[in-house]
Amino acid sequence: MSGEGMIAERRSVHGDAGAVRLEQLMKRGTDFLGTRYAILGGAMSWVSERNLVSAISNAGGFGVIACGAMNPEQLDNEIAQTKLRTAKPFGVNLITMHPQLNELIDVCARHQVTHVVLAGGLPPGGAIDRIKAGGAKLIAFAPALALAKKMIRSGADALVIEGMEAGGHIGPVSTSVLAQEILPTVAGDIPVFVAGGIGRGEAIAAYLEMGAVGVQLGTRFVCATESIAHANFKKAFIRASARDAIPSVQIDPRLPVIPVRALRNREMVNFSAKQIEVAGKLDSGEIEMMEAQLQIEHYWAGALRRAVIDGDVESGSVMAGQSVGMVKREEPVADIIAELVEEAEAALGSRG
């Protein structure tokens, strides 16, 4: 079933044992988020906006607005519009390199946003204190054990460990390796959510049993009925296999280019040309390194918009994780979450 304010319902029952066990394993996560299920919606620029975010929260998950390149006024409006669509908790994902990060944090505080997610590297000085002073809980990305420990010392309230199978900006290590490296060491001290390549409930169950308190999924929600992604964008997802989601290539080692995983198309070639152009500006002294990085990020934001909003899936960037091969149809968010929960319960119930 689907609809505003409705919680995902299980389609079938695999015995009480699986349901009870799932609830137990998710309890730290659901208590932390204030939700029925410890399932976060990954923040995807142009996709994770008011409609999808509210739908995920209304279905018992935790929607997260992708602020991306929004200015403070745009974020203010997006949060307000999301609050009109759901009374359930949701969060806001902020990029640490955003030039107006402090102002964006203040917007979240004015709206009493309960959770702020910081992505894109270590935050500048004072950002964490500013978030905490505004009353929000801080969720931080930790792509390595050392960074996980640093974020805990810095005041993070929860961590997301995301492997290279994810869509969009990625690190060099797989989800399964990160989970083995980080969960045994820090999961007892702080809630940890696992992300990257998760498309079915069996994987959710496995990571919960390893010590995670929940998971984050992005690719799986792109083809939700409530997603505003263009029909062409959704068709590309439904037709794709895991092998079609490939990482971008870094042309110049001096450029601080974080690889991006997207579906193979002409845009991947165009990005190489963009890197050469930016590197030339660095050589000539026309721009500094920080400006070079911002130009790359703005390039991706524009390329992603062309694909998501305009439907240009050849010269736009179709960012997708490797779980894209498990996206088979367009369906309501509530049905997606119900299926994931059913699969996780069945897996846990079969353990005996």
pLDDT at 23 (0 to 100): 97
Element (H, E) at 260: strand 260-263
Q: Label residue 270 by pLDDT band (50, 70, 90).
A: confident
> Is residue 104 domain-shared with residue 201, that is, in the same domain?
yes
Model confidence at 312, in pLDDT bands (50, 70, 90)? very high
**Residues 50 and 184 placed together within one structural domain of the fold:** yes
Q: What is the pLDDT of residue 296?
A: 85
Q: How far apart are CA 63 and CA 57, in angstroms?
A: 5
> Could you tell me if 253 and 118 lie in one domain?
no
Is residue 115, in this structure, part of any structural domain at all? yes
The residue type at 24: Q
pLDDT value for 12? 45
Q: Tell me, yes or no, whether 192 and 341 share the same domain.
A: yes
Question: How far is 144 from 286, CA to CA, in rounded Å?
Answer: 34
Torsion of CA 305, 106, 138, 229, to 10 degrees: -20
- Check residue 291 and report its DSSP letter: H
How many alpha carbons lie under 13 Å from residue 194 in its C-beta half-sphere? 30
Amino acid 115: pLDDT? 98
Q: Count the domains in the chain.
A: 2
65 falls within a domain: yes
**Sheet strands (E) in 129-258:** 137-141, 158-162, 168-169, 192-195, 214-217, 245-247
- pLDDT for 9 beyond 60: no
pLDDT at residue 11 in the model:
42
Shared domain for 194 and 54, answered yes or no, is: yes
Mean pLDDT of the chain: 93
Q: Which of 310, 227, 299 is nearest to 267 (CA)?
A: 299
Q: Which residue has the higher pLDDT, 293 or 232?
A: 232
> 144 and 198 share a domain?
yes
Task: Identify the domain containing residue 299 by its residue range.
Answer: 240-308
Query: Is residue 81 domain-shared with residue 178, that is, in the same domain?
Result: yes
Residue 120: which CATH number? 3.20.20.70
**Does residue 89 contact residue 35 with C-beta atoms inside 8 Å?**
yes
Predicted confidence at residue 6, as pLDDT, reads 47
Whether 332 contacts 57, CB under 8 Å: no
| Model pLDDT, residue 15 | 59
316, part of any domain: no
How confident is the model over 16-41, as pLDDT tens digits? 899 999 999 999 999 999 999 999 99
The span from the CA of 202 to the CA of 344, in Å, is: 5
220 and 278 housed in the same domain: no
Whether residue 220 lies inside any domain: the answer is yes
Report yes or no on 245 lying in a domain.
Answer: yes
* 4 is a domain residue: no
User: Is 257 among the domain residues?
Assistant: yes
- The model's pTM: 0.92
Confirm if 187 and 211 have CB atoms less than 8 A apart.
yes
8 A C-beta contact, residue 183 and residue 211? yes
How far apart are the C-alpha atoms of 163 and 178, rounded to whole Å? 7
Q: What is the mean pLDDT of residues 131-159?
A: 96
Query: Do 51 and 134 have their domain in common?
Result: yes
**48 and 141 share one domain:** yes
* 150-164, 266-280, 332-346: segment of lowest average pLDDT: 266-280
Beta strands in 5-163, from DSSP E residues, in sequence order: 39-41, 63-66, 90-95, 115-119, 137-141, 158-162
In a domain, residue 280? The reply is yes
Residue 284 and residue 139 share a domain: no
pLDDT for 44-100, tens place per residue?
A: 999 999 999 999 999 999 999 999 989 999 999 999 999 999 999 999 999 998 999
Same domain, 58 and 128: yes
Structure tokens at 86: 């759901």
